[in-house]
Structure 1
């Protein structure tokens, strides 16, 4: 009683501990349940991503296996825009390029085989041919047929030059000696119905060139370029240096020209795709330019009713 009288109070609160911690336990349970739920969702998402990744990887591996076995028609279906779709896209592009490359290689092998067969079919014993021409020449001399004798001598020289080491590199001077003999025989054949002027930069006479790159162009002009024996048909061959790194060869004529479609064929001719059916000599020149010099070569035709001009560019070599 004394404490109450003195105004001093002591407050004592008595509460059940289990009841007090009940809310804390509930909150803990909720947090635990949320954690478990989040964890399960993460596991499910991980499993879904792993399954999707596994599926994409298996598709790529399966396609690679078929390609490795030689099936170049295989393609991967592209789904979505993720990294695997990018890989599938690049794989599909690569397969298309490999397939095209293989096709071109097969075509090249077929061309090579056909060329070998044709070469064997056309093979002639050079010694027999030269000896026969020599025998005919002596008969012509004995009968004082000196023009025939000169033609035979030039023909024998042309055949010897053409047959021996057909892919040999020669000087432009040597090529011109052969070309002049060829032009002489063609002038005899066509009764001098055309003239051929040759202009060569003196500094290029000893530069080197692959054989028989010019003669087919001259032949094409003589056989197809002129309308007939007009007596005014002219061919001009111009060989000069360009930029100290290239040799420019131009064959120009005042003939009837060629169809625009044919000039377009020549200017866009791809020997790896196109088949040689007509104008074999010109297409042969274009093909050999690409085989010999690659992208360092140039071939172009301009033609109209006033004539045709063929331009070749090859690297300057000494």
Structure 2
């Protein structure tokens, strides 16, 4: 339940703004990330493609050099003078020396015309040695045939070495790449010698060293045996301070190979030549995007600008959507406080406008219904008050008339006149002129007439006194509200007493409220009986309940009757109504 309430807000404006903000932030982050990733991947892909093109060009160039060396080897392989010299039994004969001069002159021309060829050398099985230089510069025959290029060509028919220091000429140690090939006789079975062609290593070095693949990227070459042909940090490689994944490269096909180096990713672009060498371009993805930080900053900047603009639009939009709802809410609060004259001034044609128009119609209907209810309640209250006023105990009238008859029969004419006069005034007051309220003085006069009649009926049964403050006599009070209280005191408090009773009526003004108390020293009552006084009980009659009900109908529930009583000690009834002046006409 708490999770569900976490995203609930008290304001619809906040809810809409938060919903739009979350949607916009999520969309902006996704778009910014995808834009950056696509840009980064595009630059990486372009850079890898550029690296592939470079190593393809390097491979093609090197293949061209090797093919040229093979062409020279094929040309010399088919040279008749060389074959004749290499098969001579005595290479030092005059004919042999003449052939050597002609052959060396041809080799010298070839080497001088090409900057990629460092040297050309023939070693015959008969001890003959031919080169593009004077023979005095060469090492001895036994030293020459002991070298790798000679022995591997004798075994494999053709051999291309890695980069190495050449030891063919005395006191010269150039870096070359050697290609050696076995020469055979006319029967294709006899081995007549080995041809050596040295490729100038500077050509490979210049070709590869000028290639730039970022700040850390480079190109290196490895042969099919795993030996490095070229590496820009070859000396560091030989000292084992740096290494390359040679085995992985040899096992990999042409394409890309992604590896980790010191927690940094590097991409190896591999291309295999037609003679087995692998040309490898090394690039670092974090350097491929040279302006990576700039791209990140640009992405964050534009993403933030778009986010701020979108959030601003969402806030304005949420405010626009929620403003009529808040306005309608304010109107509802006015209605809640009782203002039914308010109208929702919303003219939109959408659902909110329809709701506002429905609200206005509802308020009009509620106001009409309230007016109708108030009118009906006023009529009902008037009819109830009039009905309650007419609820005078008929037994009192019967008993009073019987008392008058008894006194007349006993010739008590003065008492008859007095009782009849008091009764007539009571009846005249009860009928009245249709008014609901009278002055306190008139109500007290009516009460005095009633007590006169009752004191004559119950001779020496009780005595009474009326004490009312003068400022109360002009105040308003409902007609016939005190008589039922005095009647209740007589019939339920004093009538069954053996000794004489006492009734006291007092009236005073307390903070704008009229308080009239009716006290007796009668039998009193317990709490259970006291709590039932304000209900229409049979024992207590309808008088007290009628008075209390009439007061609350007319003045409100804050006013009415209250009781205090103890058994054998008497009862006190307090009547409370608001004080208001009334101009009373003489009856």
TM-score tier (shorter): 0.5 to 0.7
Deviations 1:93-125, CA, capped at 9 Å, x for gaps: xxxxxxxxxxxx9xxx8xx79x969969x99xx
Equivalent-residue separation in structure 1 for 2:517 and 2:389 (angstroms): 30
Aligned 1:165-176 pairs, distance under 5 A? 165=433, 168-176=436-444
State the shift of 1:297 in Å: 1.0
Distance 1:307 1:119 in 2: 29
Q: Which residue of 2 aligns with 1:203?
A: 471
Alignment of 1:259 onto 2:526 = yes
Give SS of 1:238's match: strand
User: 264, 274, 284: which is aligned to 2:546?
Assistant: 284
Report how far residue 168 of structure 1 moved.
Answer: 2.2
Higher Rg of the two aligned structures = 2
> Is 1:313 matched with 2:509?
no
2:438, 2:530 → 1: CA distance?
29
Q: Which of 558, 561, 564 pairs up with 1:302?
A: 564
CA RMSD of aligned residues (A): 4.0
Which one of 238, 258, 262 corresponds to residue 506 of structure 2? 238
Secondary structure, aligned partner of 1:295: coil
Q: Which moved more, 1:167-176 or 1:7-16?
A: 7-16
Deviations 1:216-262 (A, max 9, x none): 0000000010263534310111100102x111111111111013112
Q: Residues of 2 paired with 1:252 and 1:287: CA distance?
A: 21
**Cα deviation digits, residues 164-195 of structure 1 (max 9, x gap):** 24652111111111111100100011113101
Mapping for residues 190-229 of structure 1, pairs under 5 Å: 190-226=458-494, 228=496
Equivalent pair of 2:520/2:571 in contact (CA under 8 Å): yes
Q: Distance in 2 between matches of 1:118 and 1:212?
A: 7
Structure 1 or 2: more strand by fraction:
2
Q: Cα offset for 1:214? A: 0.8
- In structure 1, runs of 5+ residues without a counterpart are 21-104, 124-128
Partner of 2:424: 156
Cα separation, 1, equivalents of 2:427 and 2:438: 16
Between structures 1 and 2, the one with greater helix share? 1
Structure 2 residue matching 1:195: 3-state secondary structure: strand
For residues 275 and 117 of structure 1, what CA distance do their matches in structure 2 show? Answer: 12
Question: Residues 227 and 256 of structure 1 are in contact (CA less than 8 Å); yes or no, is this contact kept in structure 2?
Answer: no
Task: Please give the secondary structure, in 2, of the residue aligned with 1:247.
Answer: strand
1:116–1:209 distance in 2 versus 1, CA, 3 Å: closer
Distance 1:147 1:194, change over 3 A: same
State how far apart, in whole Å, the 1-side matches of 2:472 and 2:569 are. Answer: 30
Maintained 8 Å contact 1:296/1:315: no
Q: Distance in 1 between matches of 2:576 and 2:556?
A: 11
Question: 1:119 and 1:228, CA in 2 relative to 1: closer, same or farther beyond 3 A?
Answer: closer
Compare relative contact order (CA 8 Å, sep 6+) and give the higher one, 1 or 2. 1
Q: Structure 1 residues 166, 257: closer, same or farther in 2, change over 3 A?
A: farther
C-alpha separation in 2, matches of 1:235 and 1:118: 23
State how many pairs are aligned.
207
